[in-house]
Structure 1
Amino acid sequence: MYPFNPIFTERKQTNQRYVFINQNNRTWTEAQRYCRENYTDLVSVRNQTENDLIHNMFPSKTWVWIGLYRDYWQWSDQRNSSFRYWAPGKPDNNTGNENCTVASITQILNGTWDDQECGENHPFLCYNGELSQIHNL
């Protein structure tokens, strides 16, 4: 495991490198732009193994933006993955405008996901790896 840095942490998994950005929390769109400019995109979580890796990667307890957004719930990088790990009762679109996804990096919520308003500020996870077709939102 890489040493924890409160601003930047990364972990390499197969052909992908996960990068945690915990500096200047950003909205989902700002996080997406940052990831695309500096890495590949916001992280896509394709299976339980990847979700567990991300969840266990950090000693801190927080929510992080991932690349899933509500347009029939698709991934920012257009990867075709049907894997979802919603918390019980989620997504619920509680405010009527919860179109982006955060993953919990907490022990209690065990890596589950929640839909949140895209304008909230959170740390985020980027990945660097195989580049797929990227579309701006």
Structure 2
Amino acid sequence: MGCEKGSPVTIGFTCRLEDGTPFDPGEHGRLRVVPGERMLPTLEQGVVGMEPGERRVIAVPAGEVNAFLRSRTAPPPPQRDRRPGFGYDFGPGDGGDVLLTIPHPPAKPPREVPAGAATVLFDVTVLAEE
């Protein structure tokens, strides 16, 4: 039967550019994905129908990878009007309620496929269907 849209599946993967240069999209080589939900369209087309243990190399256009990585970069959480650093807020309550504010690290910029790369090759193995 193989992987179907809407059904969770765990995949193992590595990425490289066409010239063989390794490419790290920021994931850890193993993902739980649901075809049809927030997945690279070309990668999704390649994964649908795969059986557990099956391996495929799926060529994804670099522009599609870049657009996807940019869309996954969340903006940093809203900050209160205060200088960067640690802060304490004391509020009403028995003994005073305390809120400790710890600054968030700056958001990392999305990793981009190097200019000139036309394709990213995803070497994908289906590890498990759920």
TM-score (norm 1): 0.23
Say which one has the larger Rg.
2
TM-score (norm 2): 0.24
